[in-house]
Amino acid sequence: MRIFLVRHGESLGNIDERAYGQFGDHNVPLTQWGHRQAIQAGEAIAAHIAGLTGPDLGKLRIWYSPFLRTRQTRDALLTVLPPDRIGHASEDYLLREQDFGLFTEIYDRAEQKQKFPDEFEKWARLRSNSGKFYARPPDGESRADVAQRVRLFLQTMMHDVSNGNDNVVIVGHGVTNRAFEMNFLQHPVEWFERSDNPGNADITLIEGSHAHGYTSTLLHQAADRQNGEEELRDAYGAEMMIAPKPGL
């Protein structure tokens, strides 16, 4: 069995947090650079499966989050993966990114505290008393909530695997992909707390069997934009731009 865990390419939200408020988290597009990263991720999967032989090398069963940036990443993968290796592709809402509630478009802690002082203090106490994994942002999801729904997706996926679809591509997000790896490999909560989200368009390969166990390796690490490089920052596939701040 092989599972290619792919995080979406760089999105507008990754370079400017205001994009989440302007477009809504579900509708934030890739950047031009993110699309290039996704193409390269598809090429890495294609190169990997080209070197494999054996009767267990079936078609790639693709699952993806419904968010725009993951659907665009899926489309980019499909342009470079060999068509004869592609099986069915399905969207699953359980693969969506963590819902940060009131803090969805605010990642600066000082700004969170300024705008929502009571909610921030309550969240801070939860993080201190219960741990980051279990603490829910106001009106949002904890990482434990994400891991729980990803476990539900895993049940669906394993049912599909039992029907012979055991070469899987999952196009998801940083937290959801990490939650999938935690669940599938039965890592403890401590592993999640110590680990970091994969980078944009990184690929984690999980492979093995129930009888012999599974391993997890970083198959592909996407290229990051270098300091000073400002090109390819526009939205991919749409006439979108981040509105300038008032007064600029």
Q: Which residues are the active-site residues?
A: 8, 97
Tokens of 173: 């997000």
- Please report which helix (H) or strand (E) contains residue 215, including its range: strand 213-220
Amino acid at 197: N
Q: CA-CA distance, 26 to 168, in Å (whole number)? A: 23
Q: CA-CA distance, 169 to 63, in Å (whole number)? A: 6
Cβ atoms of residues 92 and 62 within 8 Å: no
Q: CA-CA distance, 50 to 82, in Å (whole number)? A: 9
Helix ranges (H only) for 99-142 are 109-115, 117-130
